[in-house]
């Protein structure tokens, strides 16, 4: 039970700090782009219907496909007001996501012997970024409001499969070390992209291409900073709750 408690406390501290950092970055990097895209959505009368448009997410899992309400439902659905209320809800969502991701990071790293220090933690953070943001984002880039999208269930299945395959592939490459297993790891990482992510019937959108490009870059950079910070913070606070990692953990990075 003490190990479980230590993992929860470590994840809570890291998730809290990294979630607040991400919310602050998003306030200046991604939220203005979402608000600008919403003006195109409103001017277009609800956007195109070649696929189910998904509302842009501003939390740590911005690349995770989520459902969006229809144009009629959006008029009646409650949403936080722009300004402090929106920032507060975004921060809360980021902290919850940060805690969940930190818990996964702690659990995975403990299976490998534990994170030795903040430098090793940042390497684990880079791995988390590659698994949860970079790899799935290559097939399903973050989307702005009014942008068309493929079937939600198909996107979610592909996203989960890509995350699992990338995580398994990186683990084989990093912890096994043999050439055959490393080749298998690379194959697992590449496989979801060979299969291909589900795509909408048409990519027509009232949102300008350069605005979407800016949003993809902003989401990618903010999530990179989030993951590096998350891993580094886990490395800093881990020893307070777990003590020194064993020799396996000390041998990594």
- Average pLDDT over the chain, rounded to whole? 83
What is d(CA 98, CA 19) in angstroms, rounded to the nearest whole number? 5
11 in the Ramachandran plot: left (φ > 0), alpha (ψ -120 to 50) or beta? Answer: alpha
Lowest mean pLDDT among 27-31, 42-46, 82-86: 42-46
Confidence of residue 150 (pLDDT cuts 50, 70, 90): confident
Q: How confident is the model at residue 114 (pLDDT cuts 50, 70, 90)?
A: confident
Backbone angles phi, psi at 69, to 5 degrees: -75, 155
Quick one: tokens of 156?
A: 């979610």
Q: What is the pLDDT of residues 50-90, one digit of tens each?
A: 443 344 444 555 556 765 544 444 455 566 666 677 788 88
pLDDT of residue 122: 95
Average pLDDT over residues 107-128: 91
Q: Phi and psi for 240 in degrees, rounded to 5? A: -65, -35
Structure tokens at 169: 């592939």
State the residue for tokens 């799935």.
136
The answer to whether 188 touches 166, Cβ cutoff 8 Å, is yes
How high is the pLDDT of residue 1? 47
Q: How far apart are the first and last CA of the chain?
A: 29
Is the pLDDT score of 15 beyond 80? Answer: yes
Could you tell me which residue, 133 or 80, shows the higher pLDDT? 133
Neighbours of 97 (CB within 10 A): 22
* pLDDT attached to residue 129: 97
Q: Where are the beta strands (DSSP E) in the chain?
A: none
Residue span of the structural domain in which 94 resides: 2-251
pLDDT, tens only, 91-101: 999 999 999 99
For residues 28-54, average pLDDT: 68
pLDDT band at 248 (very low <50, low <70, confident <90, very high): very low
Q: What is the DSSP letter of 251?
A: H
Contacts by residues 97-100 (CB-CB < 8 Å, ≥ 24 positions apart): 97/15, 97/19, 97/59, 97/60, 97/61, 98/14, 98/15, 98/16, 98/18, 98/19, 98/22, 98/60, 98/226, 98/230, 99/11, 99/12, 99/15, 99/16, 99/19, 100/15
Q: Compute the distance between CA of residue 23 and CA of residue 158 in angstroms, rounded to an integer.
A: 27
pLDDT, position 250: 40
Percent of the chain surpassing pLDDT 90:
52
The pLDDT value given to residue 232: 95
Tokens of 22: 């991400």
Under 8 Å between Cβ of 124 and 107 = no
Inter-CA distances, 9 with 14, 128, 142, Å: 9, 19, 31
Query: Would the pLDDT of 46 be above 50?
Result: no
Beta carbons of 140 and 223 less than 8 angstroms apart: no
Task: For residue range 185-220, list pLDDT tens digits in order.
Answer: 999 999 999 999 999 888 888 889 899 999 999 999
Tokens representing 244 are 């020194």
> For position 44, what pLDDT does the model report?
56
Number of structural domains (the chain) is 1
């Amino acid at each position: 039970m003490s190990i479980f408690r230590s993992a929860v406390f470590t994840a809570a501290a890291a998730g809290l700090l990294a979630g607040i950092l991400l919310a602050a970055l998003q306030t200046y990097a991604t939220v203005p782009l979402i608000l600008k895209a919403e003006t195109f959505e409103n001017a277009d009368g609800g956007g195109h219907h070649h696929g189910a448009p998904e509302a842009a997410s501003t939390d740590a899992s911005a690349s995770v496909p989520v459902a969006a309400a229809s144009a009629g439902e959006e008029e009646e659905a409650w949403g936080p007001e722009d300004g402090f209320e929106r920032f507060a809800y975004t921060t809360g969502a980021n902290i919850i996501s940060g805690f969940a991701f930190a818990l996964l990071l702690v659990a995975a790293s403990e299976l490998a012997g534990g994170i030795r220090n903040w430098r090793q933690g940042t390497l684990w953070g880079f791995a988390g970024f590659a698994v949860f943001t970079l790899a799935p984002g290559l097939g399903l880039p973050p989307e702005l409001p009014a942008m068309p999208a493929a079937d939600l269930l198909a996107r979610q299945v592909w996203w989960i499969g890509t995350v699992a395959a990338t995580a398994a592939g990186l683990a084989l490459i990093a912890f096994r070390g043999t050439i055959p297993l490393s080749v298998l790891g690379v194959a697992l990482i590449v496989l979801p992209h060979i299969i291909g992510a589900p795509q909408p019937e048409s990519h027509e959108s009232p949102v300008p291409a350069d605005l979407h490009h800016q949003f993809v870059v902003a989401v990618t950079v903010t999530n990179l900073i989030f993951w590096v910070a998350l891993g580094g913070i886990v490395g800093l606070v881990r020893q307070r709750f777990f003590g020194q990692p064993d020799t396996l953990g000390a041998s990594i990075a």
